[in-house]
């Protein structure tokens, strides 16, 4: 996957600028983590030991610089500390990312104090946890002399890292696990120390992290096929771009189907640093029929984006009727084609969802004076068979647009305007199950399920501030073992106001909201963990953004609806396209998902 610029906060938030004590230059990356080989990520600064006779300010600056270098277990950083402080320090527990623009630490007598805005905390597994706009990263560097030399005698809780150091010192990576269906992979984003790692060291690090299992974000919502105790034998050697992952005998107990799934996890995880992969178990090939390199194409069916031609087709409502839209890519005339071969066409719909295969749809509508979600085959090019009749699920109150996952589960959130919003899922066998969730008084405005059916994307109106936030959550088995629950709600802290919509994208999450200083809402991108918020690449649109139609397929052209109800999209050349008047003025757009 291509790499991204860690422009952590833009347009009135963080600008990743250089610091007088730690000059670095970052690489340009996007939010997609697949593809290019690992490199230094920028101009790395190797930590130096303290100079003889250095003054307190130099010791503090040297300590901050040395904390960005994790080689040899932060040995250089410990040289700036008293022996007692160095013994107590546990840098591996977390990394606090702070805005280095807030200035160098200020002198307080013989001591120095760092007062800066906290951007995020990266935990011991590498999870990026965005900080709130008023969170600070304060630390008092207590100074004392040891054998006549100034040293730091206070212990940070983890590592302090300025935003200008991130790109050179940390690598954004994805670990891949399976959804409950054991068919669709889920990317689990982490930040890992890079410090000019060799290809073999980077591969070893990734596989070791993968074998630890999912992070807290996914928890037991994701499945690792690796049996407990599975480990890499010594390391992962890399020769001529080919990695050999030698697993111990613990993986030998897997049946053939699970061996192929474990191979998929490993190949997808190493593919993002452009390595070909061989896998052995206790010296023998993991896949007996594939003793050599496991081709990426053999595991592409587990794609977390669930790509297919169907997922790139735009649908929508025209006058409340279900339609398909042609001509987005310029290969044909722009037109909306009525899906009048589907029994759904007979209804006046308020919202419309299409499954990821593009053969079924669901609408929110009225039937016999009652609000329902109706679903049926779209039946393009043919009639409806006896098994294709419209089925309905009764809903109450404000009902959000439904959402499909890759297993054809249909997710429905109703009672959105009540004190107890209700989330349910209609499974492939037709059963409807409640999925308990506690929104803590917040009001759901948007629900979008990822193809994996594990990750939920929400826009919630805060009960405290009345402002909308973009949050993610995890659908997982309940602790009781009965049914599913949605929890692990996390605010992505997108630096926008007036947020109206959010949708999954090939590069993370697309958000409609107002950046600082803008009177109108604009499309922004943010990674699924909340890192790297930035405007959508390309020229800024001359119109505001109200709604977003998108999904995770890399070939999808996101479509935006402005406050006047006109639609626009960004072509592959990044130019903005506004279709003919009929299509632009009337369509409520939606993509499969």
Average of pLDDT values for 443-450?
98
pLDDT band at 472 (very low <50, low <70, confident <90, very high): very high
Judge contact between 433 and 393, C-beta under 8 A. Answer: no
Query: What is the pLDDT at residue 69?
Result: 85
Burial grade of 189 (CB within 10 A; 0-12, 13-18, 19 or more): buried
Q: 431: Cβ–Cβ under 8 A, 6 or more apart, which residues?
A: none
pLDDT band at 334 (very low <50, low <70, confident <90, very high): confident
Strands annotated E in 450-496: 455-461, 468-477, 484-491
List the one residue out of 388, 395, 387 whose CA is nearest residue 411.
Answer: 395
- The tens digit of pLDDT for each residue in 120-176 reads 999 999 999 999 999 999 999 999 999 999 999 999 999 999 999 998 899 999 999
pLDDT over 80 (residue 32): no
pLDDT over 50 (residue 307): yes
Q: Where are the domains of the chain?
A: 1-170, 198-302, 309-590
Query: What is the pLDDT at residue 35?
Result: 31
pLDDT band at 445 (very low <50, low <70, confident <90, very high): very high
pLDDT over 50 (residue 384): no
Judge contact between 508 and 492, C-beta under 8 A. Answer: no
Q: Which CATH number, 2.60.40.2250, 2.120.10.30, 2.40.110.10, 2.40.10.10, labels domain 309-590?
A: 2.120.10.30
Task: Compute the distance between CA of residue 296 and CA of residue 492 in angstroms, rounded to an integer.
Answer: 32
Phi/psi of residue 196, each to 5°?
A: 60, 45
The pair of structure tokens assigned to 462 is 């805060």
pLDDT over 70 (residue 534): yes
HSE-CB of 390 using CA atoms within 13 angstroms: 17
Query: What is the pLDDT at residue 324?
Result: 95
pLDDT band at 2 (very low <50, low <70, confident <90, very high): very low
Is the entire prediction scored with pTM above 0.85? yes
Judge contact between 322 and 344, C-beta under 8 A. Answer: yes
List the one residue out of 373, 423, 416 whose CA is nearest residue 395.
Answer: 373
The SS3 assignment for 341 reads coil
**What does pLDDT average to over the chain?**
90
């Amino acid at each position: 996957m291509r790499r991204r610029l860690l422009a952590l906060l833009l347009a009135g938030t963080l600008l990743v600028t250089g610091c007088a004590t730690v000059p670095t230059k970052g690489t340009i990356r996007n939010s997609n983590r697949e593809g290019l080989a690992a490199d230094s990520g920028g101009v790395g600064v190797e930590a130096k030991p303290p100079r003889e006779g250095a003054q307190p300010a130099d010791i503090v600056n040297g300590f901050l610089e040395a904390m960005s270098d994790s080689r040899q277990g932060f040995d250089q950083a410990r040289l700036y500390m008293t022996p007692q402080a160095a013994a107590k320090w546990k840098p591996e527990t977390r990394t606090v990312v702070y805005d280095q623009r807030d200035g160098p630490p200020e002198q307080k007598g013989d001591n120095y104090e760092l007062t800066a805005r906290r951007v995020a905390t990266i935990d011991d597994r590498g999870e990026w946890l965005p900080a709130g706009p008023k969170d600070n990263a304060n630390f008092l560097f207590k100074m004392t002399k040891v054998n006549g030399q100034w040293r730091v005698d206070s212990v940070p809780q983890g590592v302090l890292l300025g935003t200008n150091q991130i790109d050179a010192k940390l690598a954004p990576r994805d670990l891949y696990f399976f959804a409950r269906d054991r068919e669709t992979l889920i990317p689990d984003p982490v930040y890992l120390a890079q410090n000019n790692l060799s290809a073999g060291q980077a591969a070893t690090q990734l596989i070791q992290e993968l074998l630890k299992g999912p992070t807290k974000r996914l928890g037991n919502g994701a499945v690792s096929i690796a049996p407990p105790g599975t480990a890499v034998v010594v390391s992962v050697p890399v020769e001529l771009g080919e990695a050999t992952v030698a697993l111990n005998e613990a993986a030998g107990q897997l049946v053939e189907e699970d061996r192929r799934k474990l191979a998929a996890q490993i190949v997808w995880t190493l593919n993002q640093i452009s390595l070909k992969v061989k896998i052995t178990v206790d010296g023998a090939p993991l896949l007996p029929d594939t003793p050599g390199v496991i081709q990426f194409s053999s595991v592409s069916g587990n794609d977390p984006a669930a790509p297919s031609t169907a997922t790139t087709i735009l649908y929508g409502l025209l006058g409340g009727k279900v339609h398909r839209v042609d001509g987005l890519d310029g290969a044909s005339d722009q037109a909306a084609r009525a899906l009048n071969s589907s029994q759904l066409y007979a209804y006046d719909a308020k919202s419309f969802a299409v499954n990821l295969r593009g053969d079924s749809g669901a609408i929110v509508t009225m039937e016999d004076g009652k609000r329902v979600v109706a679903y049926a085959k779209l039946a393009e090019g043919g009639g409806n068979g006896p098994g294709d009749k419209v089925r309905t699920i009764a809903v109450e109150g404000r009902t959000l647009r439904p959402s499909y996952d890759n297993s054809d589960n249909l997710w429905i959130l109703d009672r959105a305007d009540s004190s107890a919003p209700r989330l349910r899922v209609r499974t492939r066998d037709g059963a409807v199950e409640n999925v308990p969730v506690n929104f803590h008084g917040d009001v759901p405005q948007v629900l979008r399920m990822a193809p994996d059916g594990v990750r939920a994307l929400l826009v919630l109106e805060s009960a405290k501030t009345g402002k909308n936030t973009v949050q993610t959550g995890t659908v997982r088995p309940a602790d009781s073992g009965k049914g599913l629950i949605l929890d692990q709600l996390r605010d992505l802290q997108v630096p926008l106001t007036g947020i109206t919509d959010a949708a999954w994208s090939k590069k993370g999450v697309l958000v409609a909201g107002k950046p600082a200083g803008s009177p109108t809402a604009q499309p922004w991108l943010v990674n699924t963990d909340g890192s790297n918020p930035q405007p959508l690449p390309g020229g800024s649109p001359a119109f505001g953004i109200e709604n977003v139609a998108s999904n995770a397929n890399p070939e999808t052209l996101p479509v935006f609806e402005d406050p006047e109800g006109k639609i626009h999209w960004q072509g592959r050349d990044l130019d903005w396209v506004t279709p003919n008047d009929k299509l632009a003025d009337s369509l409520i757009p939606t993509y499969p998902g």
